[in-house]
Structure 1
Amino acid sequence: MADKRAERIAEFIAPLRVKPGSTVDLVADFDPRYKAGLNKQTGVELLRTGVSLLAEYQTRLAAQDTYGVLLCLQALDAGGKDGTIRHVMSGVNPQGVRVSSFKVPSSEELDHDYLWRYARRLPARGDIAIFNRSHYEEVLVVRVHPEVLDRQKLPSRPSGRRLWERRYREINNWERYLTDNGFKVVKILLNLSREEQRLRFMKRIDLPEKNWKFSAADIRERRWWDDYQQAFSEMLSATSTSWAPWYVVPADRKWFARICTAAVLAHTLIEIDPQYPKVDAKARKELLTARRELEAEAPEGAPPDPYAARHPAPGRAGDHG
């Protein structure tokens, strides 16, 4: 990671990372309004740079076809997940990205283990998958509303804390398995303050074009605010690992949340450092043959290879046939 960009990104996201093995108090340890001394104007430029960097590395990821990346986004209602995805991924090739949202499980999904429906949406090698809410709903919503467990048809259910400890262990093991097989797991919690959520809900009510985004269920869930903060804190403490750490992104300022998300994802791709495949001697010979054939077809007076004429570079295919 000698690249200066990589060093700056790593330094920028360091305060957001949940140290594996640490005990987290979300309210006390992470400020939803933190902005690292930046302003919005500077932030727009940084986001543009981050989007460009992601586009570059996504192309290399797809070309190498060895690693896949899973980005898990968690947040409370109005946390900004949709907008973050839209802005951060604006410059990438949509063919290499798939976004999955997970709502109430279907009857088919309830007939399988609780990770089954998430496993079905994992990325292929060379691709990026985004979970808009993720398997962590199984230790968040299910924990705050334990009646959901009744529909999961568990043959046995440990009581109290033992159930969540078991699920933390199962999730950590699953993510370790994915990482060992070349699938990087990136986990981001968009950390929204209670007051900012209230303001965003009010905006959805006041603006007709945003009415469709509001649901009475959002207000009902808001009544469980303290329970969710506790569930988030325990989740972060138990599942931020060296192979799949959590990042807590301040979400009260949407522009800053988008910069942070782009930086965390870029950091992951830079660490992978995917490379374009190198062709062997036989393939280079075939390229040279094809090049000569195409050069011979050039119209009279036109350069045989316009690109090479404008971009002279040593080592181009066929230059040393």
Structure 2
Amino acid sequence: MADQEQAVLKKLRVEPGEKIRLRDRNPRDKSLFGDEQETKAATAALAKDIDTLQDRLYAEGARALLVILQGTDTSGKDGTIRSVFNATGPLGVSVHAFGPPSRLELEHDYLWRVHAAAPRRGTIGIFNRSHYEDVLIGKVHKLAPEKVVEQRYDQINAFEKMLAENGTTILKFMLHISKDEQKERLQERLDDPAKHWKFNPGDLEDREHWDEYQDAYEIMLNRCSTKWAPWHIIPADRKWVRNAAIATIVKATLEEMDPQYPEVSWKPGDFKIT
């Protein structure tokens, strides 16, 4: 693994049992990367590398990669997907955006819809929000009793371990932005008519609970970063840093998985195309 990749992983990964305080993590940190334009060019190259590795993963057809993007409103989940996976062929990538559960989903346990969306073998699955909403929104807005929320941390860890033991590598990214940066991005959505559709008045209500959400994220990070499904805290105030960090980790993980093209039982020389 290259020195750059090792530095990114070491600084951003949450080790199991590590006690996280988000106020100690600078959401504007750019120390892992150099010049902005050079970093953007490097990220584009990483996206192409991810495409090549994903092609091998698809051909191998034996394992999957699940990428979980979790963050407050405007933290850049959609932008991450566009920048990091823009070169990846659509055949082997699925994106699932989790919104409020439907009536049918509410009639099942909270992980039912998540398991159904997990990536099939040979593919990369991306969750735009995830089952962690059930220990974030569920906790802050008291959508479930505290006892029930408390049980979910261990349940989620067990669920993810089951996926991992059945061939799914899991990467989890918490997109860490500052309250000031969120204010600027929300204001942009109000100021630009082309972005009005992105503005949700409900985001302002969640913003009033900023500190409670930060506390809920800290508990989530402390309780649910495991050896088989580690969390990474991504400084997300600078979009180019966010994209570079995630692309670096995704590429390094796929390289470690080292998917292989399957061997065929025939010899190319035995055939002639006429």
TM-score (normalizing by structure 2):
0.96
Aligned counterpart in structure 2 of residue 175 of structure 1, from 152, 160, 163: 160
After TM superposition, the structure 1 = structure 2 runs for residues 280-319 of structure 1, keeping only pairs within 5 Å, are 280=265, 283-284=266-267, 287-290=268-271, 293-294=272-273, 297=274
Equivalent position of 1:267 in the other structure? 252
Note if 1:223 corresponds to 2:182: no
Unpaired segments ≥5 residues, structure 2? none
Q: Following the alignment from structure 2 to structure 1, what is the Cα–Cα distance between the partners of residues 252 and 72? A: 25
SS at match of 2:132: helix
Instruction: Give unpaired runs (5+ residues) of structure 1.
Output: 150-156, 298-321
Retained in 1: the 8 A contact 2:15–2:225? yes
1:132 to 128, 139, 143: 128
Question: How much does 1:173 deviate?
Answer: 0.5
Ranges of 4+ aligned residues in structure 1 off by more than 2 Å: 10-13, 162-165
Which amino acid in the other structure matches residue 35 of structure 1?
K
Instruction: Work out which of the residue numbers 27, 33, 39 in structure 2 matches 1:32.
Output: 27
Find the residue that maps to 1:114 and give its secondary structure: coil
Once residues 8 and 210 of structure 1 are traced to their aligned partners in structure 2, the CA distance between those partners, rounded to angstroms, is 35
1:113 to 105, 109, 112: 109
Cα deviation, residue 194, structure 1:
0.2
Give the secondary-structure state (helix, strand or coil) at the position aligned to 1:9: helix
SS of aligned partner of 2:202:
helix
Alignment of 1:76-155 (within 5 A): 76-146=72-142, 148-149=143-144
Q: Deviations over 1:226-250 (max 9, x none)?
A: 0000000000000000111000000
Q: Look up the SS of the partner of 2:195 in the other structure.
A: helix
Contact persistence 2:62–2:122 (CA under 8 A): yes
Q: 1:257 aligns with which of 228, 242, 258?
A: 242
In the alignment, what sits opposite 2:220? Answer: 235
Could you tell me how far 1:215 is from its partner in structure 2? 1.4
Shift of 1:177: 0.6
The whole-number CA distance in structure 2 between the counterparts of 1:267 and 1:175 is 20
Amino-acid identity (%): 41
Contact 2:234 2:242 in 1 (8 A): yes
2: CA distance between counterparts of 1:31 and 1:66? Answer: 38
Deviation per CA, 1:1-48, whole angstroms, max 9, x where unpaired?
A: 5xx4xx5323223201001111111122x1100112523112112211
Counterpart of 1:102, as a letter, is F
Q: Is the 8 A contact 2:27 2:234 kept in 1?
A: yes
8 A Cα contact 2:164 2:170, kept in partner: yes
For 1:153, the equivalent position in structure 2 comes to none
Please give the TM-score of this superposition, normalised by the length of structure 1. 0.82
State the structure with more CA Rg: 1
Structure 2 residue identity aligned to 1:34: D
- CA drift at 1:211: 1.3
Q: Structure 1 residue 207: deviation in Å?
A: 1.1
Distance 1:58 1:46 in 2: 18
- Mapped partners of 2:46, 2:91: distance in 1: 19
Aligned to 1:72: 68
Give the AA of the match of 2:88.
V
Deviation at 1:288, TM superposition (A): 2.4
> What whole-Å deviation, never above 9, does each CA across 1:200-221 have from its counterpart, x for those lacking one?
1111111111111111111111
Instruction: Give the Cα–Cα distance (whole angstroms) in 2 for the partners of residues 11 and 253 of structure 1.
Output: 18
Residue 57 of structure 2 corresponds to which residue in structure 1?
61
2:44 to 41, 48, 51: 48
Shift of 1:76: 0.4
| Secondary structure in 2 matching 1:247 | strand
2:164 aligned partner, one-letter code: T
SS of match in other structure, 1:140: helix
Task: For 1:2-13, list aligned pairs within 5 A.
Answer: 4=2, 7-13=3-9
Instruction: Say if 2:8 and 2:249, in contact at 8 Å, map to a contact too.
Output: no
- Residues paired across the two proteins, number: 273
